[in-house]
Amino acid sequence: MKKIGFFNSKGGCGKTTSLFHIAGVLADNGMKVLAVDLDKQGDTTNALLSEDESEYSDNGKNVLDFFRGDAAFEDVVKKNYTKKIGCRKPTYVGIDVLPYSPKLENQRLLKEIELSDKMDDFNEYDFVLIDCPPSNRAIEKIVLEQLADGILVPMSSDLDSIRGYGALVDKVDQAREKNVNLNILGIYMSMYDGRVGTQRELLSLMRSSFDTFIDVQIPHSAAIVDSKLAGRPISFYKKTNVKDTMEQLTQEIINRL
């Protein structure tokens, strides 16, 4: 079981989109996946639990209740249902979700959370994918020191999105004092458009600057966005170049574990 956090201090870099589609690739290859939504916006929750079959309600128990010991895992976790090719109704494909809480910005509620006694609930999964908010020190501390084995850093195609990378490296180094197995699995570009000269220049810069760079670019594609809005990861569509790219990215991540 591997626990992977999706991090970037800047919003709009493709963290949720990456998690959504990578979860789909893993599930389509027979893996059991848990998505942990720690962003108060709840985009991962809303994307993966959009089908009625999920029986999800934002008035129910959530990830914060589980973390604080106010609810058992089985009372919080929800199943994702996806329309597979050839199926008329959404079916369960092996993705579960710990839904977000709108109170995740409340630093007081996040203090003194201890997850060591809750890790056994994750043992049935091959992968735990964690959607992290752009800026929340308490959640960063929990994820880096207690929860994640590896960190993935999606970058949008602008310089602002990479300026916080050095600070993240420092945070990971510091967190290793308590979480010795923690490492940065890779940094990669999302929403990439190779027709734009500045984006090609940024890609070249990242290739030469980061030894953890994953040289697979998620394209700026309507299919990536539309499939997320439909609650159906790209891996459950017919074969396309975009689907191939997400599979390549996922395989490279697995190779680095």
User: What is the per-residue pLDDT across 74-89, written as a single tens digit (0 to 9) for each?
Assistant: 999 999 999 888 888 9
CA distance 127 to 28: 13
CA distance to 7, 11, 218, per residue, from 153 (Å): 5, 12, 13
Question: What is the pTM assigned to this prediction?
Answer: 0.96
pLDDT of residue 164: 78
Provide the pLDDT for residue 120. 95
Contact partners, residue 37, CB within 8 Å, separation at least 6: 43, 44, 45, 63, 97, 98, 99, 100, 131
Instruction: Extract the tokens encoding 45.
Output: 């929750």
Low-confidence ranges of the chain (pLDDT < 50): none
pLDDT at 45: 98
**For position 8, what pLDDT does the model report?**
87
pLDDT at position 102: 94
**Token pair recorded at residue 56:** 């999800």
Per-residue confidence (pLDDT) for residue 112, from 0 to 100: 87
pLDDT in tens, 205-222: 899 989 999 999 999 999
Three-class SS of the chain: CEEEEECCCCCCCCHHHHHHHHHHHHHHCCCCEEEEECCCCCHHHHHHCCCHHHCCCCCCCCHHHHHCCCCCHHHHCEEEEECCCCCCCCEEEEEEEECCCCCCCCHHHHCCCCCHHHHHHHCCCCEEEEECCCCCHHHHHHHHHHHCCEEEEEECCCHHHHCCHHHHHHHHHHHCCCCCCCEEEEEEECCECCCCHHHHHHHHHHHHHCCCECCCCCECCHHHHHHHHCCCCHHHCCCCHHHHHHHHHHHHHHHHC
Domain 2-242, classified CATH 3.30.70.1560, yes or no:
no
Q: Enumerate the domain spans of the chain.
A: 2-242
